[in-house]
């Protein structure tokens, strides 16, 4: 066991006194070493080392009115923001910002209220929300806010970082294999990403003259995928399922199996997220790889640009997501594709 906080940290005055200069000079040293003449610099340098001095950042914040702190709002849902978070936090640190985490329970409105409060707390200079928030009725925020994975545009500094356009590519590919009748097991519709995937699914089906047996609203769970298959009529004609994500897709595969349908022989299944675990499942899952780290970095870059009043960089579309074809997709059964 080590000891705990007996000694107060040294202050700028103690450093100044030991160095034989004014505390103004020490502060100046902190801002820009070169503004002191070498002899003075050496004295201050020595005093700082001797006392192991670290500036009190709270006092500095108070004086400068800058906190160098941004908040990241975590989703309360089933998503694991680990990698995005690490990358975002790393990027922010490099830019000299601390990252504060706020986890918000409750629905979009409750979250919006909390974000509102946060924005006005004076504690943070910007906010990155990983969950979608309901911003209707909110007129003004005093700090920039970036929402990752949200199509709403009533929000200042909105960066659209999720993109469902890969759904189009998936359906085109499946149609090319001969599939005609599709099923979509969507994620929770409170999530912008789920809504947009569903929307692109429906549009693409329509545009290509295909048939959607149904677009079922799920809740991102494997169970929702399983249930969708359990409830599917034998004569639905569905030969391809586009699931909201990998977890749902695994439920779909298991559900299909429980109906006696083999994947991919009788049914093709697509996920989203490229979980390592689904890559090693049997059959390995066709999916969309999402570069969470790039997403996190990009979100922070956008936020920092907002904070600094610089032009906001365009999100680099198309580089973050990548469709991956694996064993869970194949041509439809001959009987079906031939009719």
Contact between 281 and its own copies by CB under 8 A: the answer reads yes
Residue list 233-252, contact with its own copies (CB under 8 A): 246-247, 250-251
What is the edge-to-edge ordering of all strands in the sheet holding 240-243?
Answer: 211-217, 181-186, 240-243, 268-270
Q: Are 22 and 40 in contact (CB under 8 A)?
A: no
For helices 38-51 and 12-19, angle between their N-to-C axes, nearest 10 degrees:
130
Judged by CB under 8 A, the residue of 5, 176, 209, 311 near its own copies is 5
Smaller CB separation from DNA, 30 or 177: 30
Judged by CB under 8 A, the residue of 132, 186, 275, 295 near its own copies is 275
Residue 314 DSSP class: P
Q: Which residues does 59 contact at the CB level (< 8 Å), separation at least 6? A: none
Q: Which residues does 162 contact at the CB level (< 8 Å), separation at least 6? A: 148, 149, 150, 151, 192, 193, 196
Smaller CB separation from DNA, 44 or 300: 44
Which residue, among 215, 331, 179, 212, has the nearest Cα to 263 in the 3D structure? 331
Residue list 89-128, contact with its own copies (CB under 8 A): 89-90, 93, 98-103, 105, 120-123
Residue 282 interacts, among DNA, its own copies, none and using kind-specific CB cut-offs from 5 to 8 Å, with its own copies
- Three-state DSSP state, 84: helix
Residue 24 interacts, among its own copies, DNA, none and using kind-specific CB cut-offs from 5 to 8 Å, with DNA
Q: From the CB of 205, what's the least distance to its own copies, in Å?
A: 26
Which residue, among 323, 1, 303, has the nearest Cα to 170 in the 3D structure? 323
Contact between 289 and its own copies by CB under 8 A: the answer reads no
Q: Are 285 and 242 in contact (CB under 8 A)?
A: no
Binding mask 49-68 for its own copies (x = CB under 8 A): -----x-xxxx-xx----x-
Contact between 24 and DNA by CB under 7 A: the answer reads yes
Q: From the CB of 97, what's the least distance to DNA, in Å?
A: 16
Judged by CB under 7 A, the residue of 4, 5, 52, 65 near DNA is 65
CA distance 216 to 224: 9
Q: From the CB of 47, what's the least distance to DNA, in Å?
A: 12
Q: From the CB of 17, what's the least distance to DNA, in Å?
A: 11
Contact between 253 and its own copies by CB under 8 A: the answer reads yes
Q: Cα 338 to chain center, whole Å?
A: 42
CA distance 109 to 293: 28
Q: From the CB of 327, what's the least distance to its own copies, in Å?
A: 11
Distance set, CA 76 to CA 83, 108, 129, 151, 210 (Å): 16, 10, 11, 19, 36
Please report, as ranges, the residues that interact with DNA according to CB under 7 A. 8-9, 11-13, 21-25, 27-28, 30-31, 35-37, 39-40, 53, 55-56, 59-60, 62-65
Please report, as ranges, the residues that interact with its own copies according to CB under 8 A. 1-5, 7, 9, 54, 56-59, 61-62, 67, 69, 72, 74, 76, 78-83, 85-86, 89-90, 93, 98-103, 105, 120-123, 138-144, 154-156, 221-222, 225-226, 246-247, 250-251, 253-254, 257, 275-282
């Amino acid at each position: 066991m080590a000891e705990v906080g007996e000694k107060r940290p040294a202050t700028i005055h103690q450093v100044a006194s030991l160095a034989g200069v004014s505390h103004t000079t020490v502060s100046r040293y902190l801002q820009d070493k070169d503004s002191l003449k070498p002899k003075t610099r050496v004295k201050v340098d020595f005093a700082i080392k001797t006392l192991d001095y670290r500036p009190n950042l709270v006092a500095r914040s108070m004086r400068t009115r800058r906190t160098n702190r941004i908040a990241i709002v975590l989703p309360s849902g089933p998503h694991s923001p680990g990698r995005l978070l690490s990358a975002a936090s790393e990027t922010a640190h490099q830019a000299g910002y601390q990252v504060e985490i706020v986890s918000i329970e409750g629905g979009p409105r409750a979250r919006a209220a909390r974000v509102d409060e946060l924005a006005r707390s004076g504690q943070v200079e910007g906010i990155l929300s990983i969950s979608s928030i309901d911003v209707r009725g909110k007129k003004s925020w005093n700090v920039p806010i970036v929402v990752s994975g949200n199509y709403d545009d009533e929000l200042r500094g909105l960066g659209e970082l999720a993109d469902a356009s890969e759904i189009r590519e998936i359906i085109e590919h499946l149609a090319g294999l001969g599939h005609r009748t599709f099923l979509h097991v969507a994620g929770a519709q409170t999530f912008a990403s789920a809504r947009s995937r569903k929307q692109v699914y429906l549009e693409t089906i329509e545009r290509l003259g295909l048939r959607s047996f149904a677009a079922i609203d799920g809740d991102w769970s494997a169970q929702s995928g399983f249930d969708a298959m359990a409830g599917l009529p034998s004569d639905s004609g569905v030969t391809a399922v586009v699931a909201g994500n990998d977890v749902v897709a695994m439920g779909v595969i298991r559900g299909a199996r429980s109906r006696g349908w083999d994947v991919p022989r009788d049914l093709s299944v697509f996920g989203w997220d490229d979980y390592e675990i689904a890559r090693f499942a049997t059959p390995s899952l066709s999916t969309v790889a999402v570069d969470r780290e790039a997403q996190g970095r990009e979100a922070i870059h956008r936020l920092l640009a907002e904070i600094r009043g610089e032009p906001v960089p365009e999100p680099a579309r198309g580089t973050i997501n990548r469709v991956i074809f694996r064993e869970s997709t194949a041509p439809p059964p001959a009987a079906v594709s031939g009719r």
